């Protein structure tokens, strides 16, 4: 089915990213149903656009999916537990919310005979360390970093063949996936589950691999908050942002309004794209760059503290070229991490 959807279910539609997607779809005059538990809502139900139908329920509950999905011809699956978490003790919570929640929805779509399109919120974390270039051995996939190296301040991954320093490369969607923490593993499993559903039911499935998303409504002051929110919370307390490692970690910080545009493009494209797409600004920055941008208006200087979390990768920056070529998505928002404070 390739017709333009007329009624779209957005799971997690009251959350940080989902609420922006709902607003963008409403502006495109699409009928929207939101399925959200409201446990981690970024907006109140009354703040949803006029005409949006809200079903309050947990994505792990098939009956909640059934109430929300009936009559929908597209699904935008955003609901998930996000972030690196505290430690491996979070494993069941991540699997419950992300994998079992997705499985519950796909089972209901199967039972309903759903034949529309699915757009899944995935993540750049599925790439692990991505690709780097060795002067002697060309493109290589860096192995996972060791705790001893991180603790000793040896942050840069080395060539697995010769041990030489590497230069990070932009990764395309064709790079083999290599999840290196629990969250990453569950996001990749979501991709696999939805892709199997798509093949079995002849349904187009697009997995949007978000890079580091920031912007208004970004959750703060939780162990699962993004780095931009963590830095902003420090500045609000009058404290300098604390930057792990040496601050040289490369990331792509993409605005939530651009992420919403990517979802709308994937959902409403005349020909839906099947497979994963990177959603990124296309401009890499270091974590220290981000910290300075957040701290500067308050007259603060970030504090580089070393150390780090073993589940974090050193560099991950991907190419946004395929999204531009297939669904016409290009990021347009200027880099402004202090936009977190604005509505």
Active-site residues, by number, are 183
The DSSP result for 124-171, as a single string, is GGGGTT-EEEETTTEEE-PPPPPHHHHHTT--S-B-TTT--B-EEE-B
- Sheet of 138-140: strand order equals 138-140, 131-134, 167-169
User: From residue 312, how far is each of 33, 167, 182 by CA, in Å?
Assistant: 35, 18, 11
Q: In what helix (H) or strand (E) does residue 285 lie, and over which residues does it extend?
A: strand 285-286
> Taking the CB of residue 322, how many other CB atoms lie within 10 A of it?
18
CA distance 222 to 176: 31
CA distance 217 to 43: 8
CA distance 164 to 135: 8
């Amino acid at each position: 089915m390739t017709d333009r959807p007329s009624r779209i279910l957005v799971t997690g539609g009251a959350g940080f990213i989902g609420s922006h997607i709902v607003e963008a779809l409403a502006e495109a005059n699409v009928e929207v149903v939101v399925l959200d538990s409201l446990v981690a809502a970024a907006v109140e139900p009354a703040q949803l656009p006029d005409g949006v139908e809200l079903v309050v329920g947990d994505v792990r509950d098939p009956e909640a999916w059934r109430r929300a999905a009936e009559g929908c011809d597209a699904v935008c699956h955003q609901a998930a537990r996000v972030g690196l978490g505290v430690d491996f003790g979070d494993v069941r919570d991540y699997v419950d919310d992300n994998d079992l929640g997705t499985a519950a929805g796909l089972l209901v779509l199967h039972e309903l005979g759903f034949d529309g399109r699915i757009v899944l919120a995935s993540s750049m974390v599925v790439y692990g360390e991505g690709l780097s270039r060795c002067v002697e051995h060309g493109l290589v996939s860096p192995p996972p970093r060791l705790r001893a190296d991180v603790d000793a301040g040896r942050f840069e991954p080395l060539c697995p063949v010769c041990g030489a320093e590497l230069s990070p490369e932009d990764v395309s969607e064709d790079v083999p996936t290599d999840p290196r923490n629990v969250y990453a593993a569950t996001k990749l499993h979501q991709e696999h589950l939805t892709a199997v559903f798509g093949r079995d039911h002849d349904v187009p499935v697009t997995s949007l691999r978000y890079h580091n998303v920031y912007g208004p409504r970004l959750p703060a002051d939780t162990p699962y908050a993004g780095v931009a929110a963590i830095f902003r919370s420090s500045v609000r307390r009058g404290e300098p942002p604390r930057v792990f490692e040496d601050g040289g970690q490369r990331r792509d910080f993409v605005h939530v309004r651009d992420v919403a545009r990517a979802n709308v493009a994937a959902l409403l494209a005349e020909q839906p794209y099947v497979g994963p797409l990177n959603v990124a600004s296309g401009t890499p920055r270091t974590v220290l760059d981000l910290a300075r941008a957040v701290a500067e208006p308050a007259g603060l200087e970030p504090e580089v503290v070393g150390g780090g979390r073993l589940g974090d990768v050193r560099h991950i920056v991907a190419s946004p070229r395929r999204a531009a070529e297939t669904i016409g998505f290009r990021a347009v928002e200027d880099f402004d991490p202090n936009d977190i404070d604005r509505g």
